[in-house]
């Protein structure tokens, strides 16, 4: 009886520890995003739920394999061929976001790939595509730092489509490039201009499955 009580107390302590660690993670990410906003006065809210994002690759039968993790705050994805991706193999995270048309909106998020070896550039890249237009691309071999994005736009309609595309630029050697392509997408938020031009207020968003 006493042993069961001790186990219960340990379980409750571990659960509480997990909640605290998760809260610290949220606060840390919040601070990083705010430091990288163009305007210093910002009001933040809850993270966008990424569980509803659509992740797919060049072969629909492998879609589940390219999604390594999909949670409310982050998605981790990779190319489908774990050893030697072929040229034009791709994985895409695609989401539709509700925005306020004819107002200044800002989409903020973070991309992170931990691989870095500049001499191996020219094999895999990720790109950011907004409303069908490629606005950024980066070779994963060039940097292993977190990449913070703050995309300002004044949309003509109330929905926009954002895609994060991971792609093989050539037939890769059998050097576990699929593992190296592992990329994390997180911290997605949408900001809109408030009545006070020095502030941004958050629009609470729910991602819609494409």
Q: How high is the pLDDT of residue 52?
A: 86
Q: pLDDT band at 104, cuts 50/70/90?
A: confident
Residues 150-169 have pLDDT tens digits of: 998 899 999 999 999 999 99
In this model, does residue 140 exceed pLDDT 60?
yes
Q: How high is the pLDDT of residue 54?
A: 97
Q: How high is the pLDDT of residue 121?
A: 97
Q: pLDDT band at 99, cuts 50/70/90?
A: confident
Q: How high is the pLDDT of residue 4?
A: 53
In this model, does residue 141 exceed pLDDT 80?
yes
Residue 186's nearest CA partner among 99, 86, 100, 113 is 113
Residue 147's nearest CA partner among 28, 43, 33, 50 is 33
The CA distance from 9 to 186, in Å, is: 33
Task: Return the CATH class of domain 42-202.
Answer: mainly beta
The CA distance from 110 to 23, in Å, is: 18
Beta-bridge partners for 130: 133, 162
């Amino acid at each position: 009886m006493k042993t069961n009580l001790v186990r219960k107390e340990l379980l409750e302590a571990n659960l509480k520890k997990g909640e605290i660690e998760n809260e610290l993670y949220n606060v840390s990410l919040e601070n990083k995003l705010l430091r990288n906003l163009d305007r210093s006065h910002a009001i933040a809210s809850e993270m966008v739920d990424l569980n509803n994002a659509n992740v797919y690759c060049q072969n629909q039968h492998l879609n589940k394999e390219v999604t390594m993790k999909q949670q409310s705050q982050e998605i981790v994805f990779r190319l489908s061929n774990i050893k030697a991706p072929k040229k034009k193999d791709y994985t895409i995270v695609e989401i539709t976001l509700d925005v306020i048309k004819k107002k200044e909106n800002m989409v903020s998020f973070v991309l992170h790939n931990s691989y870095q070896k500049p001499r191996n550039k020219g094999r895999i890249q990720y790109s950011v595509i907004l409303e069908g237009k490629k606005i950024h691309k980066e070779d994963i071999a060039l940097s292993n730092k977190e990449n913070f994005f703050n995309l300002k736009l004044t949309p003509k309609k109330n929905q926009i489509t954002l895609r994060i595309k991971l792609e093989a630029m050539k037939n890769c050697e059998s050097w576990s490039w699929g593992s190296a392509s592992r990329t994390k997408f997180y911290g997605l938020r949408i900001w809109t201009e408030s009545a006070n031009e020095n502030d941004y207020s958050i629009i609470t968003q729910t991602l819609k499955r494409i």
